[in-house]
């Protein structure tokens, strides 16, 4: 779903490997399907290729997905 949404923004006639990779060079605030946001600002200095370092810890309990962590966090900087 995320790839589809980005491809739609680039445009079908312009979509190729280069245009897709170029889109990620300055990505900011792009919503991820069932996740956080893609952001170059939150990329760690040692690994600038990571554009979504934030995660949310969940657990499957009683037939439901239950959050364990309090929202999204960056495990490269903090712990839940």
Residue 12 lies in a domain: yes
Q: Tell me, yes or no, whether 73 lies in a domain.
A: no
How much is the average pLDDT of 10-32? 88
Rounded to a whole number of angstroms, the CA Rg of the chain reads 15
Give me the mean pLDDT over the 46-66 stretch: 82
Q: What is the pLDDT of residue 79?
A: 58
Residue 35, domain member (yes or no): yes
pLDDT at 49 over 60: yes
Residue 59 falls within a domain, yes or no?
A: yes
Residue 19 within any structural domain of the chain: yes
In a domain, 78, yes or no: no
DSSP string of 5-39? HHHHHH-TTT-SHHHHHHHHHT-EEEEPTTS-EEE
Between 49 and 12, the more confident residue is 12
Residue 45 confidence (pLDDT): 76
Mean pLDDT taken over the chain = 81
Mean pLDDT, to the nearest integer, of 5-33? Answer: 88
The domain total for the chain is 1
Q: Is residue 8 in some structural domain?
A: yes
Domain of 63, in residue numbers: 2-67
The helix/strand/coil state of 3 is helix
């Amino acid at each position: 779903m995320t790839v589809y949404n980005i491809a739609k923004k680039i445009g079908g006639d312009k979509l190729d490997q280069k245009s897709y990779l170029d889109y990620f060079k300055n990505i900011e605030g792009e919503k991820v399907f069932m996740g956080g946001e893609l952001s170059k600002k939150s990329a760690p200095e040692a690994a600038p290729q990571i554009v979504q370092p934030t995660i949310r810890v969940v657990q499957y309990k009683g037939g439901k997905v239950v959050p364990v962590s309090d929202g999204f966090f960056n495990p490269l900087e903090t712990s839940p």
